[in-house]
Structure 1
Amino acid sequence: MLSGDADADLRQMADDPNFPHRDAARHAVRFRASGDVAHLVAVHDDPHPCGMTDVVFALAGAKRPWLNWVPMPSEAITNVANEIGGRRARGEQLEVTGLGLSAAEPASAMTACHRVAGPVDIGIAEFPAPDIRTPVRPGRYAIWRYDGTEPVPAGPAPSGAAVRLLQEVAGEPWASPLSGYVKAAPLGELPLADLLGLLAHLPGPPDTARWQHLATSTPTYWYRLMQPWVCLGILHHAKDQPWSTSVRREVLVDLAFGVEDWVADAALFALVTAAYREPELRAEVRQVVRARLDAAVAANRLVTIEESLAQLMLVTPGCRPDDRALATAVLARAAQDDEQEEPAPAPAEKRRWWQRRA
Structure 2
Amino acid sequence: MNADVDDELRRLADDPAFPHRDAARRAIRFRDGGDVADLVAIEDDPHPCQSTDVLFAMAGAQRAWLNWVPMPSEAIINVADEVGRRRAQGEQLEVSGLGLSAAEPPSAMTACQRVAGPVEVGIAEFPQPDIRTPVRPVRYAVWRYDGENPVPAVPAPSGEAVRVLHEVAGEPWPSLLSGYLQAAPLGKLPLDELLGLLAHLPGPPDMPRWRHLATTTPTYWYRLLQPWVCLGILHHASDEPWLVSTRREVLMDLAFGVEDWVSDAALFALVTVAFRESEQRDEVRALVRARLDAAMGAPRLVTIEESLARLMLVTPGCTPDDRAAAEIVLARAEAGEEDETGGGRGDRARPEPKKRRWWQRRG
Decide: shared fold, TM above 0.5.
yes
Alignment partner, residue 43 of structure 1: 42
Find the aligned partners of 1:9 and 1:190 in 2 and give their Cα distance. 39
Alpha-carbon separation, structure 2, partners of 1:342 and 1:13: 41
What SS does structure 2 have at the residue aligned with 1:341?
helix
Shift in alpha-carbon separation, 1:332–1:20, aligned structure 2, 3 A? same
Which residue of 1 is the match for residue 120 of structure 2?
A: 121
Deviation at 1:352, TM superposition (A): 3.5
List per-residue Cα deviations over 1:40-63 (Å, max 9, x = no partner): 000111110000100000000000
CA contact (8 A) 2:295 2:302 kept: yes
**Identity between Structure 1 and Structure 2 (%):** 75
Tell me the equivalent position of 1:163: 162
Structure 1 position 342, deviation (Å) = 5.1
AA aligned to 2:327 is T
Task: Give, in whole Å, the separation in 2 of the partners of 1:195 and 1:336.
Answer: 38
Show the counterpart of 2:315. 316
Cα deviation per residue 1:223-260 (whole Å; 9 max; x = unaligned)?
Answer: 00000000000000000001111000000000000000
CA distance in 2, matches of 1:226, 1:109: 13
Mean Cα deviation higher: 157-166 or 334-343: 334-343
Q: Deviations over 1:201-231 (max 9, x none)?
A: 0000001110010001100000000000000
Aligned residues: 349
Alignment of 1:228-267 (within 5 A): 228-267=227-266
Tell me which stretches of 4 or more aligned residues in structure 1 moved more than 6 Å.
Answer: none
Residue 295 of structure 2 is aligned to residue 305 of structure 1: no
Shift of 1:91: 1.5
Q: Report whether the alignment pairs 1:337 with 2:336.
A: yes
Question: 2:347 matched to which residue of 1?
Answer: none
Cross-structure match for 1:66: 65
User: Does the 8 Å CA contact 1:3/1:9 hold for their aligned counterparts?
Assistant: no
Alpha-carbon distance, 1:197 to partner = 0.1
Distance 2:55 2:206 in 1: 32
Indicate if the aligned counterparts of 2:102 and 2:123 stay in contact, CA closer than 8 A.
yes
Please name the residue that 1:86 is paired with: 85
> Residues 258-308 of structure 1: CA distance to partner in whole angstroms, max 9, x if unpaired?
000000000000000010001010000000000000000000000000000
1:4 positional shift: 7.5
Gaps of 5+ in 1: 354-358
Partner of 1:211: 210
Show CA shifts across 1:155-202 (max 9, x none). Answer: 100010000110110000000000000000000000000000000000
- 2:29 counterpart of 1:30: yes
* Paired residue type of 1:124: I
Displacement after TM superposition at 1:85 (Å): 1.1
In the alignment, what sits opposite 2:194?
195
Give the CA RMSD over aligned residues: 1.6
1:73-114 deviation digits (Å, cap 9, x = unpaired)? 100000000000111122210011000000000000000000
Q: Secondary structure at the match of 2:165?
A: helix
**Residue identity matched to 1:181:** Y
Task: Tell me the residue number matched to 1:356.
Answer: none
Whole-Å Cα distance in 1 between the matches of residues 48 and 90 of structure 2? 51
Indicate conservation of the 8 Å contact 2:65/2:310, yes or no.
Answer: yes
User: Are 1:231 and 1:266, in contact at CA under 8 Å, matched by a contact in 2?
Assistant: yes
**What is the distance in 2 between the residues matched to 1:328 and 1:10?**
27
Structure 2: runs of 5+ lacking an equivalent: 343-355
Partner SS state of residue 152, structure 1:
strand
Distance 1:3 1:300, change over 3 A: closer
Is 1:106–1:262's contact at 8 Å kept on the other side of the alignment? Answer: yes
SS of the equivalent of 2:122 reads strand
Q: Distance in 2 between matches of 1:125 and 1:302?
A: 14
Quick one: distance in 2 between partners of 1:267 and 1:89? 32
Give the partner amino acid of 2:311: L
User: Contact (CA 8 Å) 1:255, 1:264: kept in 2 or not?
Assistant: yes
